[in-house]
Structures are given as C-alpha cells and as structure tokens.
Structure 1
Amino acid sequence: MRTFALLALSYLSTAVWAGGYQGCLERVWTYQAYLIDGLNAVNDQTLGFKCANANFDKATGDCRVDWERCESKTAPAPKDKGWRVPEDETKPIDAEATAKKCYEEHNKRGRRIYNFPPFSVAKKQAEFNALITKVNDIVNKAYREIRTADNKHLWEDFDTTTDKIVTARAGDHGPYLLKSAGEHERLKGVVTIKKQKLGPNPVANPPADWETLDWTVTEDEAKRNGVADADERLGKFRADFYKAGSIAQEYDQVIESYKRVQESKTTCR
C-alpha cells in the first residue's frame, strides 16, 4: 500500500494543471480512498490499478491489456522524492503535512502539479471528474457495508481531507475570479467587489489567507449603493467567466464534484 501512495504522490504526466497544494492533497485523498477500497475482497477492488497511456482505450474506458496493480514486484521501489508517508503502518497519514511536503518538493524542482490521469490509479476511469464520483461511490458503499469501530477512522480521515480540498480549490481559484470581476465591463467602476476569506493558505510565503469573491455581500452592498441591477450585472459576469469550454468552467466543475462528495456524507451513508 505504501508503494501505491508514493506512486500517486509523485505522478506528474498529464495535460491538466491542478494548481498546487490542492493537487497534492488530492493525491493523499486518493490514497485514503485506496485504503478503504482495500477492505473489499480483492476481486471487488477498483483503486490501486493502472494502465499505461498507450494501452488505455478512452472510448471504452478499459485497458487493452490486463490492469496492473500499483505495487512493487521484483523491481526496486520508486525513488523517495522527499514526501514519503510515515513508515509506521499503524499511524494515519497527516494529510496537510504530507501535501505541504509534496508541494515543497515539486516547487523546489520548478515543477507544476498536475491532475494525475485517472487510469493511472483506478480501473476503467478516463476523466478526472468521473474519478472523483467513482471514488466517492466506493467510499460510501464501503461505509455502509464494511465499516467497523476499528476502521471508522479511515472515513474520518477521508472526509477531513475532502473538506481541505474544497477550501484549497476555491482558494486557488479565488485570485483569478477576483481579478476578472474587477476588470469586467459590467462591474468595473460600478460594483465594488467584496472578498470572502477562506482561511490561511498552508503554503503561502509570506503567510496569507485564501480569498475569493463574496457573491452575496457584493450584490447586497451594490444594491444598497443604488445599483438596482447588481444581480443582472453579476449574473452576466458569472456567465462570461464560466462560459462553456473555458478553463474556469472545468475548474469549477471539479470544485462542484468535491462539494457533492462533502454532501454525500449525510445523504448517501
């Protein structure tokens, strides 16, 4: 299992940039889900399997050869790049500390942190949002069927990391949202953009809080200041910023996927 964690934490080859710290959190999150899936019978497990890019059929979502377990065989284990998880198997991973270390090691090498290909960690997964949904389904099903007093901490760890990812994703997205809002033709010079603080950014240097646009406060204050059509103006900006096919829309869809994971704690367990 530790080998899989190291593979997931160090995987870099894909097309979509995850941003930074949250990309490392998502690697830890996937490993936490892998631990839960590992409680299932071997033939029922989905996570911890990979298919080489050349062998993956995106049309069918399957591998042209057998799915390979993400574990060391006779070859040496992957080289430790500085973010190895604790050696003591009895202790849970510190998700935030591990993600920070992962971020620091990538940053020192001048490397971006990418969304890892879904088919590098799970069977029959071709798209990142679909992987998030699949992971959530696996975790919730296992919660209902095989959770015990001895293993319940696995779901607690998973849920805590989910919350951290939602905050980190929104925080990373915030500066782009705020900048675009301040420059939009329907808002600039008319509507004062108000910020919402999301808490401290664990990897900011110097220390700083994550911030994003506070839609409700911005609209309410604008209306109090006489901008009667503030809702329409903000709606136009939202439609332009998150237009179909844009990077912003793709990023927002990932945030929404993680929010659905959050909500499922109370609706699907």
Structure 2
Amino acid sequence: MRQFIVYSVVALNLLSSTVLAGGVQGCMERVLGYRALEADSLKPKADRKIGWRCTDWEVTDAEKREGKCKGSWEQFSDVYSDISFNNFMKFIGDQHVDASDWLKKKADGSIDIDKTASNCYNKHTAANAKVRNFEAHEVFKTDNDRFESYVEKLSDTVSKAPDEVPDADKAKAKDIRANYYELSQRVQDVRVGDHGKHLIKDATKKLKGQLDIETRTLGKDPLNTNVDLKTVDWAKTAQKGIASGKSKQEVRNLIDGFNKEYYKKRNPAEHRSVVRSYIKAGGKAKKCI
C-alpha cells in the first residue's frame, strides 16, 4: 500500500497546470521575475544575468520556440535606476503601469503574491487590457523562449546568488532565496489548481463507476477568495478504490490508463511539462535553504 501511495503522490505532483499565460498567473510570474531581478542585482553589474531584453527578436523556429537577438541587449540598470516591481513590468513591455505601487505586502513586510497578482490583474482589466504573455528574451539573454528553460534559469540564478554576491549582501540574498522558494510553491499550486477543475471533470467522467475521484484543496483563488482551488487527489482516490474491493493493480491500471490518454492531448502535456519544471527548480532551491 505504501509504495502505491508514494507513486500516486508523485503522479499528482506531475499533473496539470497552465502553461505560460496571461491573467492572474501571468501577474504571479511577474512577481517571481522581479524577485529574481532583486537577487541578481546584488551582484556587480558586469556579472548580472537577469534584467536583459532584446530590442529586436527574430523567431528562428516557432515550434521549438528558438530565436536570436537581431538588435541589441539592453540592461535593466541602464534603463531604470530604481529596482521596483513597477519598473520591472515596464521593462518587460507592460504598457499600463501607473504611478501607484502595484506590489502588495503582508503585515510583516513580505510580498503578498496573491494580492499583488490580483491587483495587477484588476489594473489591467480597468485599462481594458489583457495581461500580456512576456517572453524569456525580455528578462535575460537567451536563444529560446521555452518557459521550462525560463523557470530553471530564474531559479538557478536565485539559488546561487548568496554565493555570488558581496559579503555585505549575502544575508539579503538568502532572504530573497527563501522567499522566492515560497512564492514559487504558491505559483505552482495556483497553476495546478486553476487547471484542476478540468482534470476533476474529465477524471470523474472517464472513471465513473470505476473509481470515486477524491480531491484536495490548494488554497484560495487569488481573484476570488471565496473559491477554493482544487485538483484530483490520486493518493486518496487510490486508497478509496482499494477499500472498495479493487486490487492495487486494478486501481493502478485505471489511473495509469486515464493519465496516458489524458496527456496525449497537447494542453495537458504542456501543463505537465511546466509543473515538472517548477518541481525540479523548487527541489534545487530547497536544498540551498
């Protein structure tokens, strides 16, 4: 039983999420980009990797999301002297940033990513604008815009920052790293939970009469705190199936069969790829804390 449950939890962690998108998730991604910029900016200017944008990007392979910078690379510190969330958004091309501070904080002074994302989304909505998808080449030097690479690049930069900044800034870099890991976990949960309603619906329909689908809660919807974000809890679903009289192998076959078919679809496959990137990046960051 224990071995099966561990398997199921791993399967759950690799389940769906949304790929790089606009909306509230795009706003949450902006917070992570800003925190990475903060950490990297503690290093000497010549050593900084975050805060570069290409002035003229050419796509060379759309399917692989590869490209090259035909123009020049502009550095954030050459455009803005103040490292702020608002300036980061303007740097990556957001056109609707007003003079108010878009970054929201908790009572202890730490970033409230849910309220910041909600504020960011509502500000765009008020301006009759969508939260645009931003690309990796608007954040750092690269030859591809694959979001998985973007996630890993930011995480690696933040994780290594305490070892690469001057001694006077090591404590601050460590604080940012710890906070970045927490924020990343929240973004991952929101991604999984946002798509969870589709997964729950499909799994319930496909496995009706064979398995009762159990769910788990991943916190509140940043845009509506009266709504819980949920996804399938495969571990509890498996336990319930076994308790009903099915063998471990029968339950495993049902779950594996559903996932195999489900992830043949492009969107779910992309969702899983992005979540895997977060899990991989989060694991690296956690080891450093």
Q: Smaller-chain TM-score range?
A: 0.7 to 0.9
* Structure 1 residue runs without a partner (length 5+): 1-15
Which residue of 193, 199, 202 corresponds with 1:180? 202
What is the rounded CA distance, in whole Å, between the counterparts of 2:126 and 2:173 in structure 1? 36
Identity among equivalent positions (%) equals 29
2:84 corresponding residue in structure 1: none
CA RMSD, Structure 1 to Structure 2 (Å): 2.8
Q: Which amino acid aligns with 1:233?
A: L
2:162–2:173 CA contact under 8 A, matched in 1? no
What is the rounded CA distance, in whole Å, between the counterparts of 1:178 and 1:225 in structure 2? 20
* Structure 2 residue runs without a partner (length 5+): 1-18, 81-89
Which residue of 230, 233, 242 corresponds with 2:251? 230
- Once the two structures are superposed, the pairs formed by residues 12-51 of structure 1 within 5 Å of their partners are 18=21, 20-51=23-54
1:190–1:227 CA contact under 8 A, matched in 2? no
What is the rounded CA distance, in whole Å, between the counterparts of 1:159 and 1:114 in structure 2? 24
Give the TM-score of the pair, scaled to structure 2. Answer: 0.74
Which SS does the other structure have where 1:31 is aligned?
A: helix
Q: Which amino acid aligns with 2:192?
A: A
Q: 4+ residue runs of structure 1 moved beyond 6 angstroms? A: none
1:3 corresponding residue in structure 2: none
Which residue of 69, 74, 80 corresponds with 2:97? 80
Relative contact order, higher structure (CA 8 A, sep 6+)? 2
Residue 68 (str. 1) matches residue 74 (str. 2): yes
1:151/1:264 Cα in 2 relative to 1: closer, same or farther (>3 Å)? closer
Which SS does the other structure have where 2:217 is aligned?
A: strand
Give the TM-score of the pair, scaled to structure 1. Answer: 0.79
Which residue of 117, 126, 139 corresponds with 2:158? 139
What is the rounded CA distance, in whole Å, between the counterparts of 1:95 and 1:54 in structure 2? 30
Residue 253 (str. 1) matches residue 255 (str. 2): no
CA deviations on 1:191-241 (whole Å, 9 max, x unpaired) are: 111111112222126x11111000011111112213331210111111111
Residue 240 (str. 1) matches residue 261 (str. 2): yes
CA deviations on 1:161-186 (whole Å, 9 max, x unpaired) are: 112111111111211111111222xx
1:153 corresponding residue in structure 2: 175
Residue 101 (str. 1) matches residue 119 (str. 2): yes
1:55–1:65 CA contact under 8 A, matched in 2? no
